[in-house]
Amino acid sequence: MTKPSVGGLESPDLSSHDATAHESAPHVPVFAGAAREELDQLLTRYPTKMAALLPALWIVQRERGWVSEDSMAEVSDLLDLTPAYVKGVVTFYTMYHQHPVGKYFIQVCTTSPCGICGAEEVVKSLLRHTGTGDLGLTSRDGKFTVIEVECLGACGFATPVMINEEFIESVTPEKVPGILEDLA
């Protein structure tokens, strides 16, 4: 499947990141070697360094699977922004992960139209069959993280679920085991 892009950048490969990474480990700069070259190239396409913030954070997430406080500080240095500004952006957009997530990041729409059609039961089935147990937690094997999100733009096809870049419509609790099996 072709991955969508953001600002010309390939979307993060969540299957390649280490979900056991921890904030307390010594920070290894993201923007060294090829990633630094990519950022430098990126900066030539924007009128200001600030304008390159979103794609720069996207590079961090692609390389590390999530955006740590240390990575935010690194980005703020490189783009001449305050750490608070960078953190404000990271926390505003749900597409940026502020902690390690599973290899398969599962987003379920539970906004009212989908809620009326049974989204909560889909969520329960996902939590049970992935072994995550609760929203936002990652399964012990590091494979799955399930979260609820607002409208995914497929209100006529409840319940829509996104697994990494894959969009699946009309998910029911009964379909969940098969969907998860197909990921294996």
Nearer CB in complex with ligand FES: 39/117: 117
11 binds ligand FES (CB under 6 A): no
Nearer CB in complex with ligand FES: 43/162: 162
111 binds ligand FES (CB under 6 A): yes
Beta carbon of residue 112, minimum distance to ligand FES (angstroms, whole number): 7
Beta carbon of residue 113, minimum distance to ligand FES (angstroms, whole number): 4
Helix and strand numbers, DSSP H then E, in the chain: 7, 6
Helix runs in the chain, H state only: 34-43, 53-64, 69-78, 83-92, 112-116, 119-130, 176-183
Q: Which residues of 103-129 are buried (b: 16+ CB within 10 A; e: fewer)?
A: bbbbbbbbeeebeebebbebbebbbeb
Beta carbon of residue 114, minimum distance to ligand FES (angstroms, whole number): 3
Nearer CB in complex with ligand FES: 135/155: 155
CA distance 56 to 80: 13
160 binds ligand FES (CB under 6 A): yes
Q: Which of residues 112-151 bind ligand FES (CB under 6 A)?
A: 113-114, 151
Q: Which of residues 55-94 bind ligand FES (CB under 6 A)?
A: none
Nearer CB in complex with ligand FES: 48/94: 94
Among 30, 39, 67, 109, binds ligand FES (CB under 6 A): 109
**How far is CA 163 from each of CA 56, 100, 126, 183, rounded to the nearest angstrom?**
23, 16, 11, 9
Nearer CB in complex with ligand FES: 85/167: 167
CA distance 80 to 49: 7
Beta carbon of residue 149, minimum distance to ligand FES (angstroms, whole number): 9
Q: Which of residues 32-51 bind ligand FES (CB under 6 A)?
A: none
Asked if 15 and 65 count as a contact pair (C-beta separation under 8 A), the reply is no
DSSP-assigned states of every residue in 108-124:
EE-SHHHHHTTHHHHHH
CA distance 143 to 10: 22
* Interface residues toward ligand FES, by CB under 6 A: 109, 111, 113-114, 151-155, 160
